[in-house]
A and B are shown apart, each in its own frame.
Chain A
Amino acid sequence: MQDTRRTRVILGLLLLAAFGMIMIDYRGGESSPLSGLRGLGATVFGPIERGAAAVTRPVERAWETISGAPEAQSRIRTLEGENERLREQLRQRGLDKTRADELSRLLHLSGLGRYKVVAAQAVALRGAQGYEDTLTIDVGSDEGVKTDMTVLNGDGLVGRVTQVGPSTSTVLLITDAASQVGARLEGSKEIGLVSGRGKGLSGEPLIRFQLLDSTAELKPGDRITSFGSQANRPYVPGVPIGVVQRVEKTPGALSRSALVRPYVRFTTLDVLGVVVGPPDDDPRDAVLPPTATPVPTVTVTVTPGATPKPGESPTPSGNPPSTPPASPSGTSSRGR
């Protein structure tokens, strides 16, 4: 009885409207006429999400505390052991001032890479239907955030800003299947592309790294930093991305690819930074954490100020060293 002709006509009109909007928005891309509508959404829902996040955050923390308790116990034990070792080291060597400075610089990634960062907090996670790895943060145009700015946290690269409202903005995580980041290998400086696999918030949070040069060496344990985009938007150079976990064997492929474990844990994102001012020159590997060894020896890779060659631009430098350190190390470096 409800299903009259009028209903069908209106159904048709609504579906047509929706389809029209999809097409207009899709064709328009960044400059879509419907971005005003998105701005409206951000203006209306942004503050509500911020408020709700402020309410739910303590509950969430409590839940994390409870659910993470067994893990936390073992973690405490590991950390206590590590503490002991470190204390021993301290007793042995003493804490001289230069090392203390180095440590604090390690902790403050942004200071090390000389990024100008606006601090932000994650307020809402995940876009529609579980297909999108996106995030709302509680800073917006009022704080100077614009689209295509790099988002990072203390561990490494998180993503980029895709939409900005007055008090909130949307971040596309690097694990999203639609995300692509220019990246380079530590050491050999080989250039490649990091693309998401859409599983940052579920399952294995691995991302794919593709080397442009198929002859370049790639092995598990290699570390990857961001390469930097033109004019430093959307990605500033030198932000740590992750560690190569396993090299993919794809015979006949034109480029070599590997699965990379990101430094950032995307399920527990909380405090983030939006880079509003990029560094003056590419910090290269200076921002990477020290190589993972059981005993943290602080004096390994970090020589800030020494690595970035003066006058070097973040654009591709013509000739990357074609043969990185030889020694075809075992099984990981496959035939071709």
Chain B
Amino acid sequence: MGRGPLSAAVIAVALLLQVAVINRLPLPGGITPDVVLLAVAAVALVNGSMTGMVAGFFAGLAADIVPPADHSVGRYAFALCVVGFCCGRAEGVLQHSSLLPFGVLAGAALGGSALYAGLGAFIGDPRVTWASVGHILPLSVVYALIASPFVLYLVTRVFRRFDSEEPMLTVRL
């Protein structure tokens, strides 16, 4: 399978997992790890900025229109597109360090969440207040740190196993 379809499959699975399972978990703090964002960041880390930002755009667009969502279409697409691009630029990290990729994913969660909130503030979303952002932003980073090993491991495994376009990536995990 090529990278495009594989990335699409990974994103689709992440999206379904997010909406049907993870969002229903009664986790402390009232928010849940953003698996879609983490999947986009992982796909970008493995495949580079081009694949990352396209995957991010479409993943975000899908997350914008999946039923319980009730914000302007495009907000999440914008945030995840940027996340995909930035993580794609950090592509080399995967080969050179075993811990840094998790930091990149946590940073992606921080950046993505902040960008999403910022866009909301820009168009005057009443949900985005200092209080709500101050509550959600740190928690989302913590949850990203907890969830990132699983997401990164699964995504790199999937690409190593099924990707036929490139020689094997050497991933140290």
Which residues of A are in contact with B by a Cβ distance under 8 Å? 2-3, 6-7, 10-11, 14-15, 17-26, 32, 34, 37-38, 40-42, 45-46, 48-49, 52-53, 56, 60, 63-64, 67, 124-132, 134-136, 162-163, 165, 168-170, 172, 176-178, 198-199, 201-203, 267
Contacts and interface: CB of A to CB of B under 8 A. Distances in A.
B160 to A, nearest CB: 19
Nearest to B74: A21
Contacts of B75: 18, 22
Given A7-B49, A15-B82, A124-B19, A129 B31 contact: yes
A132 B125 CA distance: 11
Given A178-B126, A202-B30, A25 B73 contact: yes
Interface stretch (B85-93, B95-103, B147-155, B163-171): B85-93
Contacts of A26: 72, 123
B5 interface: no
**From A11, A15, A129, residue with most partner B Cβ within 10 Å:** A129
A172 B70 contact: yes
B65 A131 contact: no
B61 to A, nearest CB: 8
B73 A128 contact: no
Interface in B129-143: 129, 132, 135-136, 139-140
B8 interface: no
Contact of A22 (B21, B29, B54, B123): B123
Contacts of B19: 45, 49, 52, 124
**Chain B interface residue count: which class?**
35 or more
Contacts of A20: 74
Given A2-B49, A14-B57, A41-B65, A129 B140 contact: yes
Q: Is the interface of A mostly helix, strand, loop or mixed?
A: helix
Interface in B40-73: 48-50, 53-54, 57, 60-73
Contacts of B26: 63-64, 67, 267
A56 B129 CA distance: 33
Given A22-B75, A25-B72, A170 B67 contact: yes
B23 A124 contact: yes
Contacts of A48: 16, 20
Given A2-B48, A10-B54, A20-B74, A132 B21 contact: no
A3 B62 CA distance: 25
B119 interface: yes
19 contacts: A2-B49, A15-B78, A17-B77, A21-B73, A22-B75, A25-B72, A32-B73, A38-B65, A49-B20, A52-B19, A53-B20, A56-B24, A64-B26, A127-B69, A129-B31, A129-B76, A129-B136, A131-B127, A198-B127
